[in-house]
Amino acid sequence: MSQLYDDSGTRSPVREHDVVMKGRKHLDITGVKQVESFDNEEFLLETVMGFLAIRGQNLQRKNLNVDKGVVSIKGKIYDLVYLDENHGEKAKGFFSKLFR
Protein backbone atom coordinates (compact mmCIF):
# COMPACT_ATOMS: atom_id res chain seq x y z
CA MET A 1 0.00 0.00 0.00
CA SER A 2 1.30 3.42 -0.84
CA GLN A 3 0.54 6.67 0.93
CA LEU A 4 -0.97 9.27 -1.38
CA TYR A 5 -3.13 12.35 -1.03
CA ASP A 6 -6.82 11.75 -1.61
CA ASP A 7 -9.27 14.23 -3.16
CA SER A 8 -9.72 16.09 0.13
CA GLY A 9 -5.98 16.79 0.37
CA THR A 10 -5.44 14.57 3.40
CA ARG A 11 -2.87 11.82 3.48
CA SER A 12 -4.50 8.38 3.33
CA PRO A 13 -3.54 4.88 2.22
CA VAL A 14 -4.31 4.20 -1.44
CA ARG A 15 -4.28 0.63 -2.65
CA GLU A 16 -2.54 -0.24 -5.86
CA HIS A 17 -4.66 -1.74 -8.60
CA ASP A 18 -3.38 -4.64 -10.66
CA VAL A 19 -5.09 -7.12 -12.95
CA VAL A 20 -3.19 -10.33 -13.70
CA MET A 21 -4.67 -12.79 -16.18
CA LYS A 22 -3.26 -16.29 -16.53
CA GLY A 23 -4.15 -18.09 -19.73
CA ARG A 24 -7.52 -16.34 -20.08
CA LYS A 25 -8.82 -18.67 -17.36
CA HIS A 26 -7.75 -17.05 -14.10
CA LEU A 27 -7.79 -13.43 -12.91
CA ASP A 28 -6.17 -11.95 -9.83
CA ILE A 29 -7.32 -8.39 -9.13
CA THR A 30 -6.01 -6.07 -6.40
CA GLY A 31 -7.30 -2.66 -5.34
CA VAL A 32 -10.91 -3.89 -5.15
CA LYS A 33 -13.10 -1.74 -2.93
CA GLN A 34 -16.31 -3.73 -3.30
CA VAL A 35 -17.96 -6.50 -5.33
CA GLU A 36 -21.15 -4.88 -6.67
CA SER A 37 -22.61 -8.01 -8.29
CA PHE A 38 -21.61 -11.30 -9.82
CA ASP A 39 -22.94 -14.40 -11.49
CA ASN A 40 -21.47 -17.09 -13.75
CA GLU A 41 -21.35 -14.70 -16.75
CA GLU A 42 -20.42 -11.32 -15.26
CA PHE A 43 -18.70 -9.66 -12.30
CA LEU A 44 -18.98 -5.96 -11.50
CA LEU A 45 -16.26 -4.70 -9.17
CA GLU A 46 -15.61 -1.27 -7.75
CA THR A 47 -11.85 -0.74 -7.76
CA VAL A 48 -9.68 2.16 -6.68
CA MET A 49 -9.47 3.07 -10.38
CA GLY A 50 -13.18 2.87 -11.20
CA PHE A 51 -15.78 0.22 -11.92
CA LEU A 52 -14.53 -2.90 -13.69
CA ALA A 53 -16.87 -5.30 -15.51
CA ILE A 54 -15.60 -8.81 -16.25
CA ARG A 55 -17.59 -10.96 -18.65
CA GLY A 56 -17.14 -14.59 -19.49
CA GLN A 57 -18.47 -18.11 -19.14
CA ASN A 58 -18.61 -20.30 -16.01
CA LEU A 59 -17.10 -17.52 -13.89
CA GLN A 60 -16.49 -18.41 -10.26
CA ARG A 61 -15.14 -16.37 -7.37
CA LYS A 62 -12.14 -18.31 -6.08
CA ASN A 63 -10.88 -15.84 -3.49
CA LEU A 64 -12.30 -12.70 -1.91
CA ASN A 65 -10.48 -10.67 0.72
CA VAL A 66 -12.19 -7.29 1.05
CA ASP A 67 -9.80 -6.12 3.78
CA LYS A 68 -6.85 -6.54 1.43
CA GLY A 69 -8.88 -5.63 -1.68
CA VAL A 70 -8.10 -8.89 -3.51
CA VAL A 71 -10.43 -10.91 -5.74
CA SER A 72 -9.60 -14.03 -7.75
CA ILE A 73 -11.90 -15.22 -10.52
CA LYS A 74 -11.79 -18.48 -12.46
CA GLY A 75 -13.56 -19.28 -15.74
CA LYS A 76 -13.35 -18.41 -19.43
CA ILE A 77 -12.74 -14.65 -19.67
CA TYR A 78 -14.28 -12.82 -22.66
CA ASP A 79 -13.66 -9.19 -21.76
CA LEU A 80 -12.64 -6.67 -19.11
CA VAL A 81 -14.16 -3.20 -19.32
CA TYR A 82 -13.59 -0.15 -17.14
CA LEU A 83 -16.68 2.03 -16.82
CA ASP A 84 -15.26 5.54 -16.61
CA GLU A 85 -17.09 8.78 -15.96
CA ASN A 86 -15.70 10.02 -19.30
CA HIS A 87 -17.79 7.40 -21.06
CA GLY A 88 -21.05 8.14 -19.26
CA GLU A 89 -23.32 6.93 -22.03
CA LYS A 90 -21.61 3.53 -22.17
CA ALA A 91 -21.81 3.20 -18.41
CA LYS A 92 -25.49 4.16 -18.37
CA GLY A 93 -26.23 1.59 -21.06
CA PHE A 94 -24.31 -1.07 -19.19
CA PHE A 95 -25.98 -0.34 -15.87
CA SER A 96 -29.44 -0.20 -17.41
CA LYS A 97 -28.88 -3.66 -18.94
CA LEU A 98 -27.47 -4.94 -15.67
CA PHE A 99 -30.40 -3.80 -13.50
CA ARG A 100 -33.36 -4.65 -15.77
Question: Tell me: the pLDDT tens digits for 7-40?
Answer: 444 444 557 899 999 999 999 999 999 999 999 9
Q: Which segment, 6-15, 63-72, 86-95, is predicted with the most confidence on average?
A: 63-72
Residue 36 · residue 46 · CB < 8 Å: yes
CA atoms lying within 13 Å on the CB side of residue 32: 25
The closest of 35, 67, 65, 70 to 53, measured between CA atoms, is 35
The contacts of residue 13 (CB under 8 Å, 6+ apart) are 1, 2, 3
The pLDDT confidence band at residue 67, using thresholds 50, 70 and 90, is confident
Domain count, the chain: 1
For 29, the domain range is 2-98
pTM above 0.75, yes or no: no
User: Domain containing 15 — which CATH number?
Assistant: 2.60.40.2000
